[in-house]
Structure 1
């Protein structure tokens, strides 16, 4: 079942993120990968900045998590991760579908350009990659990430997104 995560889930959310993020090792730029991928303190900062996590829970065990963040005129999907041993089981699709129904706003998603599996997952679920110049603008406007991450990322949008003219 999909449920809203709370502060008591923070450590488990962090474990899931770091377990699943091992898939990035050797794929994303070496200077951007580190272990743990996200510290508990970083996760708490993200949550304090408005990232609301939802989880896929089975038998009182979180198997996957995905965050949504309201940024005014858009919503961001943040930190979408499924336990390594649960991948390809539909958990990510269920979480994404649930979060998409929580907002009427356009949805944007940022991920690593070399994480082809993530890009393919979002495209399979109706998202499309925005052009490079739009990507840079969006990452500066809605995310707080270093320039190196902007250089090596993509942004995907749903069909509600209308690029600035």
Structure 2
């Protein structure tokens, strides 16, 4: 069951993000990795900045989350993570499908360039990687990330973005 996450889900969201982010260890640049991958304070700051989460609940427990954030004229998908033990069961696709079904603006996703499985997931769901020049512009306009993260990331966009 997909549902909107509530304040009481904060700890589960934190656990899911950091469990799933273990896949990045040794893949993303060493200077971008830290323990935990996303500290509670950072997650709280993201929520305070307008990131809201949809969760996939299975057997009474959150199995995956996907954050969304409306910024100016686009919707960003933020912090999409599935518990390691629940991967490969279509949870990410269901969460993404729900978000895309409700989106009224172009949808953008930023992820690590070396996280090829994540890039492939979004490409398999109709997203396309934007050019390096456009990526730099978009990450500077819609996200608040350091220059080093801009260097090591990609941005994917849905069809609505390319129709503008």
When normalised by structure 1's length, the TM-score is 0.97
Counterparts of 1:114 and 1:61, CA distance in 2: 30
**Equivalent residue, structure 2, for 1:132:** 132
Residue 49 of structure 1 is matched in structure 2 by 49
After TM superposition, where is structure 1 displaced by more than 4 Å over at least 4 residues in a row? none
Which secondary structure does the structure 1 equivalent of 2:57 belong to?
Answer: strand
Question: The residue matched to 1:45 in structure 2 has which SS?
Answer: helix
Q: Deviations over 1:36-57 (max 9, x none)?
A: 0001111011001010100000
1:72 is aligned to 72
Q: Deviations over 1:63-111 (max 9, x none)?
A: 0000010012100000000000111110000000001112110000000
Name the residue aligned to 2:99.
99
Supply the distance in 1 between the matched residues of 2:73 and 2:162 (Cα, whole angstroms).
Answer: 11
Does the Cα contact within 8 Å between 1:54 and 1:95 map onto a contact in 2? yes
Whole-angstrom distance in 2 between the partners of 1:46 and 1:100 = 21
Aligned residues: 164
RMSD value over aligned CA atoms?
A: 1.0
TM-score after normalising by structure 2: 0.98
What are structure 1's unaligned runs of at least 5 residues?
Answer: none
Deviation at 1:10, TM superposition (A): 0.6
Q: Do structure 1's residue 108 and structure 2's residue 145 form an aligned pair?
A: no
